[in-house]
Amino acid sequence: MRVRDDDLDEYGVVNNAVHASYIHDARNVLLETLGISIHFWTSTGNTMALSELHLKYFTPLRSGGRFIVKLRVVQIKGVRIIVDHVIETLPNRRYGSQCNRCLPRQKPPSNSRIPGVGVQDTSVFFM
């Protein structure tokens, strides 16, 4: 993916809320790849409500910067899907931000930092 100029704040870096938007877009692509269309899912009366989102930022994304969003399903338990997301800057794959893996009613791991990532986040969904 590439940073667009309208994603920038007044300081010339990607606004923190836009990181969540990048993650949301990548999550939709993953679900569609798995055969789960968001439009079909919601048309059946089901929802995919985000219950938790934790982000930690390290290196800002700047205008014209390139990055990738990596996703990993950590756990599927009952109605919860827990997904790790990582945004890595390209070509050097530096940290942009990181998220602690935080499951409901559990203590986050003491060291959840993943080397070479830009943004790391854990999301918990309810279906």
R_g (Cα) of the chain, nearest Å: 15
How is the chain split into domains, by residue range?
A: 5-126
Run of H or E including 26: helix 16-33
Share of the chain above pLDDT 70, in %: 72
5-126: CATH number: 3.10.129.10
Question: What is the reported pLDDT for 31?
Answer: 78
Question: What is the reported pLDDT for 56?
Answer: 77
- C-alpha 115/C-alpha 125 separation (Å) is 25
Ranges of residues in the chain with a pLDDT under 50 are 98-118, 124-127
pTM of the predicted model as reported, rounded to 2 decimal places: 0.66
Return the structure tokens found at 59: 């290196």
Q: How far is CA 13 from CA 19, 72, 80, 119, in A?
A: 11, 26, 33, 14
Question: What is the reported pLDDT for 125?
Answer: 44
**Cα 35 from chain centroid (whole Å):** 19
Question: What is the reported pLDDT for 3?
Answer: 92
Which residues are annotated as catalytic? Answer: 9
